[in-house]
Amino acid sequence: MKKTEDLWGMSVKFVLSIINKIAPILANIFNKCIAEGGGFALSTAARPAYTDLNGEIAQMLNSLRNLPNYFIIFILIVVTTFITNFASNVAVANVICPIAMQLAKEIGQNPLWYNIACGFSASYCFLLPVGTPGNLIVQSAASVPVGKMIIAGAGPTVSTILLTWLAMCFWAPVVWPVLLTVPDWVKAV
């Protein structure tokens, strides 16, 4: 008669040790799938064919027309960086870039300028583990408390916001002089 501690010839301790090693790996994989899938679902729902959330938000932001362009770029960078800490980078870029494009059309600026700023800023998720799968893996593997991640990510977040704003306002027009002109397709709309 077999002992109750044996399971197909393996001890229960051995089986539990295997489960304890595999469970965190599977949890990380499923967390990453849920984060990415939720992001794609959010970006699809914001399209004009469904809710036209992008157009509605851009019309609400039309009041920014009176602000200087450099300040609008700063606002876009800060908002995109803030949102990307709570959703996946891809979803934030898929939602914010069309809004920025519509905003640029509404106020008569080059949409490429705003899209470049938002595209870069969507990658600046340093504060929370839900922002990107890399943060989630580090947080769960090393058991880093969220408070410590926020403290450690505050410096990189502020510095990337400022560096991106400076680069977009003063360096990007030198690299891409077309940013200072409004394309014909924007004027036609």
pTM over the 0.85 mark: no
Whole-number pLDDT of residue 25 = 73
Tell me if 81 sits within 8 A of 157, measured CB to CB. yes
Least confident segment among 48-52, 64-68, 76-80, 180-184:
48-52
Q: Are strands 10-11 and 6-7 parallel, antiparallel or unpaired?
A: antiparallel
User: In the structure, what pLDDT confidence band is assigned to residue 188 with cuts at 50, 70 and 90?
Assistant: low
Q: Which of 23-27, 36-40, 155-159 has the highest mean predicted lDDT (pLDDT)?
A: 155-159
Residue 51 above 80 pLDDT?
no
Mean pLDDT in residue range 90-96: 83
Q: pLDDT (tens digit, 9 = 90+) per residue, 94-109?
A: 888 888 888 888 888 8
Share of the chain above pLDDT 90, in %: 27
- H or E element at residue 7: strand 6-7
Residue 70 above 50 pLDDT?
yes
Residues 6+ apart with CB under 8 A from 88: 35, 36, 38, 39, 131, 132
Whole-number pLDDT of residue 32 = 63
Q: pLDDT (tens digit, 9 = 90+) per residue, 149-180?
A: 889 889 999 999 999 999 999 999 999 998 88
Whole-number pLDDT of residue 159 = 96
Q: Structure tokens of 187?
A: 């004027």
- Phi/psi for 11 (5° steps) reads -75, 155
Q: Structure tokens of 166?
A: 């400076």
Q: How far apart are CA 28 and CA 50, in angstroms?
A: 31
Q: How far apart are CA 113 and CA 2, in angstroms?
A: 72
Nearest to 146 by CA among 156, 136, 155: 136
